């Protein structure tokens, strides 16, 4: 059985019959393109239908208007926050991409017998991590009204970029430099490289978990990310991916004191774990880059509020 309110809402009512305070009875003052066909709905009743495709104006409002927009703290500098957020994820993705390139060249060299090794890539990769570090500072206190505990947590997380950069350079710039390929299976496995990689996994996990609350707080400003139109637990999944890689490293460590086939099998399983963990982590990073694009767009565009749609521009200027 339909509620009495539904029956009323289904009928077009003349404007003078409704209480003037009700925003739902208002005409659309701001610009609002129909989600069905893009027709400009300005001037139509919010209870009406799109004259082009017949979709309820209310459907467009529910999709595009952000009911929480007015509850957000204003960002000190939305453009700076958006740029830092993008830089943070993009620089990390560049670093990951360069790691794949370095290992890919190892394999290419094994197959073709060519000795191409991109030592300079280690310098650029470490530089990319430094850029990600600087940009991550934008997540420490994105706006006023952030809880002190959250600021401390994010600040601690960003500070972990310093040991991460050092460890990363040690692995790729020092240990990998010149001598041998880390996964070719020929010669001695470098224990210090494996231990440093484990340290890397811990540091990366601390950074991700520490920055996650503020990243999610900013993500709430993207209507699509908040309302579950896109459901993401990407950052947690990345910590799990780092765990998979670390498990691979531990298997390789365990293989060291063993001899013969058992050692080879464990080492191989470890390498598979490292590759799987790295692949999942990189996928997560790509996903984070896409999310930060959405968030940055949300930060740079002022959200559509019910007030902006139902109040004439002159009224708005009087209120503020
Ligand atoms: Zn339409």
Of 30-34, 46-50, 174-178, 251-255, give the lowest mean pLDDT range: 174-178
In degrees to the nearest 10, what's the CA dihedral of 142, 144, 147, 150? Answer: 10
Residue 127: per-residue pLDDT:
95
Residue 137: per-residue pLDDT:
94
Distance between Cα 7 and ligand 1 center (Å)? 23
Whether 117 contacts 194, CB under 8 Å: no
Whether 64 contacts 306, CB under 8 Å: no
Q: What share of the chain is helix, strand, coil (3-state, %, to 5)?
A: 65, 0, 30
pLDDT band at 230 (very low <50, low <70, confident <90, very high): low
Residues with CB under 5 A from ligand 1 (ion): 34, 36-37, 39, 50, 52-53, 55
Please give the span between the terminal C-alpha atoms of the chain, in angstroms, as a whole number.
44
- Concatenating the DSSP letter of every residue in 250-277 gives HHHHHHTT--HHHHHHHHHHHHHHHHHH
The two most distant CA atoms of the chain are separated, in Å, by 89
pLDDT band at 16 (very low <50, low <70, confident <90, very high): very low
Give the integer Cα–Cα distance in Å for 147 and 153.
10
Query: Can you tell me the mean pLDDT for 221-237?
Result: 73
Q: Which class for 221: exposed (0-12), middle (13-18), buried (19 or more C-beta within 10 A)?
A: buried
Give the integer Cα–Cα distance in Å for 37 and 42.
14
Q: pLDDT tens-digit profile of 50-90?
A: 999 999 988 888 877 776 666 677 777 888 999 999 999 99
pLDDT band at 243 (very low <50, low <70, confident <90, very high): very high
Looking at the chain, the whole-number percentage of residues with pLDDT higher than 70 is 79
Distance between Cα 11 and ligand 1 center (Å)? 19
What are the extents of the domains in the chain? 4-64, 76-300
Distance between Cα 33 and ligand 1 center (Å)? 8
Among 68-77, 187-196, 238-247, the range of highest mean pLDDT:
238-247
Distance between Cα 29 and ligand 1 center (Å)? 17
Check whether 202 has a pLDDT greater than 80: yes
Check whether 146 has a pLDDT greater than 70: yes
């Amino acid at each position: 059985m339909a509620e009495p309110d539904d029956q009323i809402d289904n009928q077009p009512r003349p404007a003078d019959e409704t209480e003037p305070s009700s925003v739902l009875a208002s005409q659309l003052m701001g610009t609002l393109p129909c989600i069905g066909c893009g027709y400009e709905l300005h001037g139509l009743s919010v209870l009406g239908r799109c004259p082009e495709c017949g979709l309820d104006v209310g459907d467009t409002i529910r999709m595009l208007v952000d009911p929480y927009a007015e509850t957000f703290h204003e960002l000190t500098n939305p453009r700076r926050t958006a740029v830092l957020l993008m830089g943070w994820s993009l620089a990390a993705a560049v670093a990951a991409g360069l790691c794949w390139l370095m290992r890919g060249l190892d394999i290419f060299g094994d197959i073709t017998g060519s000795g191409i090794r991109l030592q300079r890539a280690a310098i650029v990769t470490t530089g990319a991590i430094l850029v990600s570090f600087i940009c991550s500072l934008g997540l420490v206190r994105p706006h006023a009204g952030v809880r002190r505990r959250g600021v401390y947590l994010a600040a601690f997380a960003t500070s972990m970029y310093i040991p991460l950069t050092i460890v990363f350079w040690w692995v790729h710039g020092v240990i990998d430099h010149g001598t041998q390929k880390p996964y070719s299976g020929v010669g001695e496995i470098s224990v210090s490289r494996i231990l440093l990689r484990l340290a890397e996994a811990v540091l990366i996990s601390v950074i991700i978990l520490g920055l996650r609350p503020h990243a999610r707080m900013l993500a709430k400003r993207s209507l699509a990310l908040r309302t579950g139109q896109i459901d993401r637990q990407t950052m947690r999944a990345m910590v799990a991916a780092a765990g998979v890689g670390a498990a691979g490293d531990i298997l390789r460590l365990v293989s060291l004191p063993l001899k013969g086939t058992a050692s080879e099998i464990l080492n191989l399983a470890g390498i598979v774990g490292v590759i799987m963990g790295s692949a999942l982590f990189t996928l997560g990073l790509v996903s984070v880059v896409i999310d930060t694009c959405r968030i940055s767009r949300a930060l740079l565009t002022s959200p559509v509020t019910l007030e902006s749609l139902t109040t004439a521009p002159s009224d708005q200027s009087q209120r503020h």
